[in-house]
């Protein structure tokens, strides 16, 4: 599908120079002289290399058609992760790099994820926006620190460090954003 160069958004996958690229960052630039353009940081989905490219609104780019299917996470074997399609019971094994090093700690048994495919070849995994995890370690609250909106460091059960409000203690279950490991709220379970 063809789209205008200025219609590119972060997370969008495009075909450019014969390869698949995911837009990571975009910046609209309007120089004093000449036409406006969109500065886009692209990441190659196969090799992981990055490219900065300028797209004018008059240019067209090919938006890649991606198939998105729900899969259930089953287990990990070293750096390989196995998922199952709940409708066809077909299993697929993906490398750690395909999921993303920062996303792997958030995978939980039986978690439903979305696997993106291009021409029947998997190119990425989308985890749910948030997950519930238990705080295993939390620093003590410093007296007087509760007056302002302050955060303290904490360690989660999956080994990821995050910042939590002063009232959160070890043993508390919290909701964490999978994109940046930030605290969202206390779990209601």
| Per-residue pLDDT tens over the stretch 45-91 | 877 789 999 998 888 999 888 888 999 999 999 889 999 998 999 99
What does the pLDDT look like over 125-137, one tens digit per residue?
A: 888 989 999 999 9
Q: Is the pLDDT of residue 143 over 80?
A: no
Backbone conformation region of residue 120, classed left if phi is above 0, alpha if psi is from -120 to 50, else beta: left
Residues forming beta bridges with residue 163, ordered by sequence position: 153
When pLDDT is cut at 50, 70 and 90, the band that residue 144 belongs to is low
Output 42 or 149, whichever has higher pLDDT.
42
- Nearest by Cα to 158 from 127, 133, 186, 131: 133
Whose tokens are 């291009």? That residue is: 118
Domains and CATH numbers, the chain: 2-63 (2.30.30.30), 67-126 (2.40.50.140), 130-186 (2.40.50.140)
CA angle 133, 174, 171 (to 5 degrees): 75
Sequence-distant (≥ 6) Cβ neighbours of residue 154 within 8 angstroms: 135, 137, 138, 139, 161, 162, 163, 164, 168, 170
What does DSSP assign to residue 8?
A: -
pLDDT mean across residues, the chain: 87
Sequence-distant (≥ 6) Cβ neighbours of residue 67 within 8 angstroms: 116, 117, 118, 120
Output 11 or 122, whichever has higher pLDDT.
122
């Amino acid at each position: 599908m063809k789209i205008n160069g200025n219609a590119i958004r972060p997370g969008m996958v495009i075909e450019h120079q014969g390869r698949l690229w995911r837009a990571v960052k975009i910046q609209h630039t309007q120089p004093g002289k000449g036409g406006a353009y969109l500065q886009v940081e692209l990441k190659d989905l196969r090799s992981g290399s990055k490219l900065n490219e300028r797209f004018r609104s008059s240019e067209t780019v090919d938006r890649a058609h991606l198939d998105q299917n729900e899969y259930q996470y089953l287990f990990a074997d070293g750096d390989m992760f196995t998922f199952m399609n709940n409708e066809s019971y077909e299993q697929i094994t993906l490398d750690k790099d395909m999921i993303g090093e920062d996303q792997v700690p958030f995978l939980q048994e039986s978690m439903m994820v979305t696997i993106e495919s291009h021409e029947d070849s998997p190119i990425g995994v989308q985890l749910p926006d948030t997950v519930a995890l238990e705080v295993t370690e939390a620093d003590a609250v410093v007296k007087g620190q509760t007056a302002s909106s302050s955060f303290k460091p904490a360690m989660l059960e999956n080994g990821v460090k995050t910042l939590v409000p002063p009232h959160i203690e070890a043993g508390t279950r919290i909701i964490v954003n999978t994109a940046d490991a930030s605290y969202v709220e206390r779990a209601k379970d």
